[in-house]
Amino acid sequence: MNAAQTLLALAELAQDTAHPVPSPCVSVCRMDPVSGLCQGCWRDIGEIIAWGRTDEDGKRKVWQSIIGRVAARAG
């Protein structure tokens, strides 16, 4: 499974309210200088820094942002 496939699988898990929201980190930690997003998890530096202290609802919102970013890039 490559990083993109891992991210998509984690995105599915993130929507399941019966379980803790998984981190989107896929251990590809490189910031894109143009977009300002991590090339692995598609989060910006503020989202990465805040992840550990963000509540479950906030983490799901970050996941929605990630999904939107990936979809916009693909479209």
Report the C-alpha gap between 33 and 11 in whole angstroms.
24
In the numeric block, which tokens belong to residue 27? 């251990």
**pLDDT digit of tens for each residue in the chain (75 aa)?**
777 788 888 999 999 999 999 999 999 999 999 999 999 999 999 999 999 999 999 999 999 999 999 988 877
Please state the pTM of the whole predicted model.
0.90
Domains in the chain: how many in total?
1
In the numeric block, which tokens belong to residue 48? 């990465």
- Confidence (pLDDT) at 8: 85
Write out the residue range of the structural domain in which residue 37 sits: 3-74
- Confidence (pLDDT) at 14: 93
